[in-house]
Structure 1
Amino acid sequence: MMSQEKHDVVIVGGGLVGGLTALLLAKENIDVVVLDAAPLLDSTQVLEKMNSRVLALSQATIHLLQIAGVWPHIERYEPYTAMHVWNKNGYGDIHFGHDSIDKPAETDWLGVMVEPSILNLAMQKTMLEKVKHYRTNVRVKHLEQRTDSWSITLANDGCLNTKLVIGADGANSFVRQEALIGLKVLDYKQSAIGCAIQTNQPHHHVARQIFLPTGPLAYLPIKSPVSKEDGYWQSIVWTLPTNICNEYMALDEIAFADRLTKESLYMLGGVKVAKNRSCFPLKARAAEKYVMTGLALVGDAAHVIHPLAGQGVNIGCLDAAMLCDVLLTDIHRGAWANIQTLRKYEHLRRHQNEAMMHSMSILGWLESSQVYPLIWARSFGHKIAMSNSKLKDFFMYKANGLESLRNTRYAK
C-alpha cells in the first residue's frame, strides 16, 4: 500500500486566496501544504510585460497582504484615490475621494490596482520563504474521504493525508467537483472585453466607470513598466451582450480604439493604443455549500460574482481571513478543523457573498435599463448619494472591507 504524508491542512490552489490562507496559517506554525498547479514564475519576464488586466485591491486586502508578508514583494502597483461613476443616459454622478495629479500619499488611497502576474509573483516569493511545503507545477488526480481524514492522490502518484482540505482552485474547482458539491450558475448572457489602453489624458489616479445602454465600461489605472508612460495607461473591463462583444473583438486595433473612444464619450480624450484584447463570458456561480467534514471552499471555488464593482478578489481574501480566524481560535482550544468550526466560517461568509452577488446583478440591471422611471430614479439616487456626506462615508466604509475584519484577529 502506498505510504501517505500526513499534514494538518492541504490547500489546493496557490493563487492569491489560497496563498493568503496558507501564509496566515503558516504564520501560526500550522503544518500547511500548498499544491499549486502553476509553475514558478520568472521575475524578469513578469516585470517586463504589462498585463491587460488588473485586480482592484481594497484596503482590507492590502492590510491582509501586509500581515502575511506579501506586500513588500509586490513590485508594481497603481494606487487610486477616487472613484467616478455615472450613467450615459441620466443626470447626476457618484464621485468618491479626490483626483491626484502627483503620486498620492498612502493615507489618500482608496485601494490599489495590481496586475495578476505581479501579484502571483509576489505570492510565490513569499510562500517560498514562509511555507515549508509549497509545491508548484503539481496537479491533484483524486480526493477520497476517509473516516476522519482526506486522502489526496497526485498526478505523479504521490499521496497525502490530511484532516482538512481547502479548495482554493478557482471557478472550475476540482476540489468542489470531487467533493460532489453542487453549483448554482446564473448566466448573464453577457461577455466582457479586457485590454490595456493608452489615453491622451492622464487618469490622475481615478477609477472610472460609465454605464452604457449595453453595459458598464470601466477604466482602471494601471502602472506602466516604462516610467515616462505612467498616468496614461488603463485596464478596461467592458461588459457587453455576447454578440456585440464578438463583433468588437473582430475589429482591428485601430478600429477598436476608435469605437472605444466614441462609446466612452471621449473619456480622457480618447484612446491612442488598445492592446492584448481578451474576451470572457460572465456567469455568477455559487457553491451549494462551502464546507463539509474536513473540507472548505474559499474564493472563486465557492463563489464568482459579476465584475461590476471589482470586489470578487476582495471577498475571496475575506474568506481566507475568516476561515483562518475560526480555525486558529479553535486550535488554541485543542481542536482542529471541527465541523462546527467550518460551519461557523460558512455562516460568516456565505450569506454575505450571495447578497453581494445578487446586489451586483440588480445594480447592473438598474443601470442598464432604458425605462424612463428607472432612469429618473437612478439619477435622483446618484444626486442624493453625492449630497449626503454621511451616506458617502458609509459607502466608502463598506467598500474598503475593513468592517468585515472588525471582530477577528486581523482587525485594523
Structure 2
Amino acid sequence: MSANQQLEAAPIEKVVIIGGGLVGGLCALLLVRAGIQPIVLDAAPELDTAILQRRDARVLALSPATISLLEQTGVWPHIQRKADYYGMQVWSRDGYGSLEFGKTDTTAPRTAQDLLGSMVEPGVLGLAIQHELKAQVQQYHTQVRVQGIEPFSDYWQITLNDGQQFNTALLIGADGANSLVRTMAGIGVDVLNYKQTAISCAIKTEKPHQQIARQVFLPTGPLAFLPMTDLALTDLDGDEPAGYWQSVVWTLPEQDAEELSQLSDSDFLAAITHASGHMLGQVIAVESRAAFPLAARQAERYVLPHLALIGDAAHVVHPLAGQGVNLGCLDAALLVDCLMRDAARGLWAHWQTLNRYEVKRRSHNSLMMHSFSALGWLQGSQLKAVQWLRSEGMHFVANNPLLLNIFTEQASGKSAIKDTRYYQF
C-alpha cells in the first residue's frame, strides 16, 4: 500500500484542539458535554498540587459568564483558591468623580447575584481544568509538540515531533498569543504596539481590599489593585488577618517601567504607595515582581476551511479591564454553540458554520480591543481639553444608573451568550 493510500485510510477525527489551557480546555469540555469527544494536544506539562503552596502574583479576573461556563463543565468546584469581588471603583487622579460598579458599600449585605467576578491564579485554574480534562476527555495528551499541520480537501493533518499523526475534520487552535496553528496555517496577525510595559506583582496593603477591585488612571497609565485570596490551604500566612493581599497590574511607558523595575523592594513599596494615593494605606510587602511589554493582536482571519482560532490565538487585548481571558472563553462557547446548532442538521464544521462563528466573535472582539485602546489614550492624554472631557464623561456616567448597568452587563459577558445554550442566569 502506498503512503497516499495509507493516508487516505487513516481515520478522520471530528475535532482536534491544540492547546489545553483555560480556553482550549473549556472548549473541549463543552464539546464533551454536547456528546463530542475531542482530541486535546497540549504542550504544557501536567500540573500538581505543589502550585497551591505558593502565591502567584498574577490573577485572572473571571466574569460571571466565564464562571457559569466553568460551572456547567464541572471545573468550578475544583477551584481550590479564589477571591470573589462584589464591587469595582475606577477614577482618575487628575480628574473628578469616580465610577463605582456593583456593591462597593461594605456595610450592605451581598448575595451571589451581586458577584461581579472572581480573581483566580492561573496555576490554580489550570489545575482544575486539567482535573476535568483527565476525567472527561478520552484522548487528552500533555507535553506534546506539534511539528506541522497540513491542509487537505476536507481535513487537516497534524504531525507531532515523535512522528504521530492525526487527521481531523476540524482543527481548533487554542495555543496562545504566539500560536503555531495560526502561523503554520498562514494566517497573518495585526499588531498594535502600545509602547507600554505592565508591571505585575503581589502586594500586601495596610488596609483590606474588602472584596473590591480598584483602578486609578494616572498620567502615565492605569494602576489596578485586584483582590487576592489568602493561602488558607498552606498556612503560609500564619495568623495574619485575611484580605490584605492584592495583585497589581501597573501600566507604564517603557522607560518608566524599566526604572521602577530596578528599584529595591523598599523603594518600590514607597513608589507604589505614592502612585496609588494611599488608596489602601501603606503598601507594606511585595512579592514576585515581573514586567511584560503590552501589545494588542488580532488575527486577520479566525477561520479557514476546517480550522478555527479561539482565545489568544485569535486576539490579545490590553489588560485594562481584565477581559482578555473572558473574551477567549466566550469564543469557545460561541464556537461550540454554532457547531452544535448545525450538527443538529447533519452538518459538521461546515464553512458557513465557521464563518458564522467568525462574524459573531471578530466584530465583538475588535470593538473591545479598540475601546480599550481609545480609553487608554483618553486617560493618558495630557491635553487640557481631553482631561476636561474625560472628567465630565466619568462624572456623567457615574450619575447615570442606566449607563452603569449597561457597562456592568457588558463586562459580565452575559449578553454575549444570551442566545446560546449556555445562558443560565
TM-score by length of structure 2 reads 0.94
Indicate the residue corresponding to 1:113 in structure 2.
Answer: 119
For the Cα contact (< 8 Å) 1:318–1:404, is it kept in 2? yes
Instruction: Report the Cα offset of residue 387 of structure 1.
Output: 1.2
Offset from partner CA, 1:49-94 (integer Å, 9 cap, x none): 1100000011110111111111111111001110100001111110
**What is the root-mean-square deviation in Å for CA atoms of aligned residues?**
1.4
Residues 37 and 103 of structure 1: CA distance in aligned 2, closer, same or farther (over 3 Å):
farther
For the Cα contact (< 8 Å) 2:103–2:110, is it kept in 1? no
Structure 2 residue 73 is matched with structure 1 residue 61: no
CA separation in 2, counterparts of 1:394 and 1:208? 19
CA separation in 2, counterparts of 1:389 and 1:108? 15
CA separation in 1, counterparts of 2:100 and 2:136? 40
For the Cα contact (< 8 Å) 1:79–1:104, is it kept in 2? no
Instruction: Report the Cα offset of residue 104 of structure 1.
Output: 5.1
- Structure 1 gaps of 5+ residues are none
CA separation in 1, counterparts of 2:261 and 2:204? 18
For the Cα contact (< 8 Å) 1:14–1:168, is it kept in 2? yes
Structure 2 residue 30 is matched with structure 1 residue 24: yes
Indicate the residue corresponding to 1:142 in structure 2.
Answer: 148
Indicate the residue corresponding to 1:372 in structure 2.
Answer: 384
Structure 2 residue 203 is matched with structure 1 residue 191: no
Instruction: Report the Cα offset of residue 298 of structure 1.
Output: 0.2
Instruction: Report the Cα offset of residue 103 of structure 1.
Output: 9.8
How do 1:187-266 residues align onto structure 2 when only pairs under 5 Å count? 187-226=193-232, 228-266=240-278
Provide the secondary structure at the position in 1 that maps to 2:280. Answer: helix
**What count of residue pairs does the alignment treat as equivalent?**
411
* Amino acid of the structure 2 residue aligned with 1:264: S
The equivalent position to 1:177 in structure 2, one of 171, 176, 183, is 183
For the Cα contact (< 8 Å) 1:7–1:31, is it kept in 2? no
For the Cα contact (< 8 Å) 1:192–1:245, is it kept in 2? yes
Provide the secondary structure at the position in 2 that maps to 1:95. Answer: strand
The equivalent position to 2:75 in structure 1, one of 61, 70, 76, is 70
* Amino acid of the structure 2 residue aligned with 1:183: V
Structure 2 residue 13 is matched with structure 1 residue 39: no
CA separation in 2, counterparts of 1:391 and 1:215? 24
CA separation in 1, counterparts of 2:263 and 2:275? 15
CA separation in 1, counterparts of 2:113 and 2:362? 31
CA separation in 2, counterparts of 1:323 and 1:102? 39
Q: State the identity %.
A: 51
For the Cα contact (< 8 Å) 1:185–1:286, is it kept in 2? yes
Provide the secondary structure at the position in 2 that maps to 1:269. Answer: coil
Instruction: Report the Cα offset of residue 240 of structure 1.
Output: 0.4
TM-score by length of structure 1 reads 0.97
* Amino acid of the structure 2 residue aligned with 1:201: K
Provide the secondary structure at the position in 1 that maps to 2:71. Answer: helix
Structure 2 residue 99 is matched with structure 1 residue 87: no
Indicate the residue corresponding to 2:420 in structure 1.
Answer: 408
The equivalent position to 2:405 in structure 1, one of 393, 399, 407, is 393
* Amino acid of the structure 1 residue aligned with 2:74: G
The equivalent position to 2:102 in structure 1, one of 90, 97, 102, is 97
For the Cα contact (< 8 Å) 1:402–1:411, is it kept in 2? yes
Once superposed, which parts of structure 1, at least 4 consecutive aligned residues long, lie more than 3 Å away?
1-6, 99-105, 226-229
